[in-house]
Amino acid sequence: MNGNPTDIENTRKLGFGLMRLPKKLLAIDIEQTKKMVDMFMEAGFTYFDTAHVYPGSEDAIHEALFERYPRDSFTIATKLFVPAALSEGMAKKQFSTSLKRLGTNYIDYYLLHCIMENNYKKYEKYHLWDFVQEEKAKGNIRHVGFSFHAGPKLLDQILTDHPEVEFVQLQLNYADWENPKVTSRANYEVARKHGKRIVVMEPVKGGALANPPEKIRKMFRDYAPDMSPASWAIRFVASLDGILTVLSGMSNIEQMADNLSYMKDFKPLNKDEQEIIHKAQKIMGASAVIPCTACRYCTKGCPQQIPIPDIFAVMNKRIGSGQLEESKADYEKLTANGIKASSCIECGQCESVCPQHLQIIELLKECRKMEG
């Protein structure tokens, strides 16, 4: 890579998303994370993405990256999540806490995190747009952006009100391109209208596009037998104009190796490949699976401690591929501690923080079918 990796115009198009790091028992597997970091850096990539609210992630990347590589050889993105703060002071303290955990005196890419209809006013109320600009002026932040989980109207409003923002992190993938709940295409077009570079999150839709329906897998195999389904998803968004980088939440060495195999010498989708993606979009539009990306924002505040993403994953085996017996057995194993879909008290906390805007309460009612 030529030039300074902190240059917003100079980042290569694969970012290491650190929300789903490999686990050893219940803890992050630091040794495997180190190997993945080494593979990523040796291939010439430099963009690492974490957040204050990703459990253990900032501490883990301090050990796997910051203690082992020169600070100017990579870039780090982390985020401030206002729903986790009870006051303006608590919100702003997330920044200093991130600096301490990471062991650095500046952040390359700092984001106001997970802005949605039900929380964007709180970012204004706590003066956080001014706060990040003040920290940037001090040299503590190099580039300011925000991650977004709402519609194009609000995105246009925010970018109009805050033209100082340098980049936007959006959920873009071929399955959600025309999804009315995610509005990938419309959000992308708004960001580009404002001249903003885009960091892509959920390009593989929480792993769902790494294992799409068989019809899609067959189309991919017939055209390019050696290309993984995930590679199609990541190359689709990386081929768009204005992309700063595409985040992939890699959880093991195999995923890292696969991503590097086609992104090290990235080639945009050609005309034939674009047409195959269009066919895949039509198939995905008819899918009945629950579009949960397993971000787990819903589980932290659940008073019943229901493993909602895990229940949805099991349910998707049932409704996505008809695996009735396997899904029932998996559900019984998952809920052996007595915490089931039927444990839901319908408080709505999960729905208030879901980036996918899923009707979780109603979906959990559907999941009760596996209890019979």
Q: State residue 1's pLDDT score.
A: 40
Cβ neighbours for 193, distance < 8 A, ≥ 6 positions apart: 156
Q: State residue 321's pLDDT score.
A: 59
Long-range Cβ pairs for the range 337-344 (8 Å, 24+): 339/304, 339/305, 339/306, 339/307, 340/306, 340/311, 340/368, 340/371, 341/306, 341/311, 341/365, 341/367, 341/368, 341/370, 341/371, 342/368, 342/371, 343/304, 343/306, 344/304, 344/306
Tokens of 199: 């960091």
3-state secondary structure of 19: coil
Indicate the residue type of 179: N
- Higher confidence at residue 240 or residue 287? 240
DSSP H/E element including 241: none
Question: Mean pLDDT throughout 268-284?
Answer: 92
What is the C-alpha to C-alpha distance for residues 231 and 216, in angstroms, rounded to an integer?
13
**DSSP structural state of residue 164:** T
pTM of the model: 0.85
Q: Please write the tens of the pLDDT for every residue from 173-220.
A: 999 998 888 899 999 999 999 999 999 999 999 888 999 989 999 999
Binning pLDDT at 50, 70 and 90, where does residue 2 land?
A: very low
Q: State residue 11's pLDDT score.
A: 60
Q: Please write the tens of the pLDDT for every residue from 132-172.
A: 999 999 999 999 999 999 999 999 999 999 999 999 999 99
Q: State residue 6's pLDDT score.
A: 64
Tokens of 187: 């959000």
Rg of the chain's alpha carbons, rounded to an integer? 20
Tokens of 132: 């990040």
- Counting every residue written for the chain, the total comes to 372
What φ, ψ does residue 11 adopt, rounded to 5°? -85, 135
Q: Please write the tens of the pLDDT for every residue from 214-224.
A: 999 999 999 99
Q: State the chain's mean pLDDT as an integer.
A: 93
Question: Mean pLDDT throughout 275-296?
Answer: 86
Burial category of 107 from C-beta neighbours within 10 Å (exposed 0-12, middle 13-18, buried 19 and up) = buried
Binning pLDDT at 50, 70 and 90, where does residue 4 land?
A: low
What is the C-alpha to C-alpha distance for residues 330 and 209, in angstroms, rounded to an integer?
21
Domains of the chain: residue spans and CATH = 15-285 (3.20.20.100), 297-371 (no CATH)
Residue 12 has pLDDT above 90, yes or no: no
Please, are residues 175 and 281 in contact by the beta-carbon 8 Å criterion?
Answer: yes
Q: Please write the tens of the pLDDT for every residue from 84-115.
A: 899 999 999 999 999 999 999 999 999 999 99
With pLDDT > 70 as the criterion, what percentage of the chain qualifies? 96
Residue 10 has pLDDT above 60, yes or no: no
Binning pLDDT at 50, 70 and 90, where does residue 268 land?
A: very high
Residue appearing with tokens 């190359």:
235
Q: State residue 150's pLDDT score.
A: 95
Question: Mean pLDDT throughout 247-271?
Answer: 94
Q: Please write the tens of the pLDDT for every residue from 55-83.
A: 999 999 999 999 999 999 999 999 999 98
